[in-house]
Amino acid sequence: MRKIAKDKDIDKEAASKFVGSLAKKVNQLAAVTMTQLDEFMSLKEAEDYLGRQLGCAVVVEKESESKSGRAGRAMPLKPSLDITFE
């Protein structure tokens, strides 16, 4: 924040809000005890159930295997969801 305070081109109020929201997320992520594999397997096991409930095909993929441009936005306990119509 000290470096930001010296930069005249940066909106100090917006930067402060961003740092605050980031700090909240870091604290939330630190409390996560589920591993990536646990999270993936939970979603994978629910794939058929979710498909039946939503009335459509559901495909659960790992970020590294996904062709979606949004896959990189996924966070622990906040998966990236794509809805496509074919």
Residues 24 and 57 in one domain: no
Q: Which of 49, 47, 72, 67 is nearest to 59 (CA)?
A: 47
In the chain, the number of structural domains is 2
Q: pLDDT, tens digit, for every residue of 22-68?
A: 777 776 665 656 777 888 999 999 999 998 998 888 999 988 898 88
Q: Verify that 78 and 45 share a domain, yes or no.
A: yes
Helix (H, G, I), strand (E, B), or coil: what is residue 75?
A: strand
pTM beyond 0.85 = no
**CA–CA separation, 21 and 81 (whole Å):** 22
Segments forming the whole domain that contains residue 71: 33-86
pLDDT of residue 31: 60
Instruction: Kindly report, residue by residue over 5-19, the tens digit of the pLDDT.
Output: 777 777 878 778 877
pLDDT at residue 1, as a whole number: 62
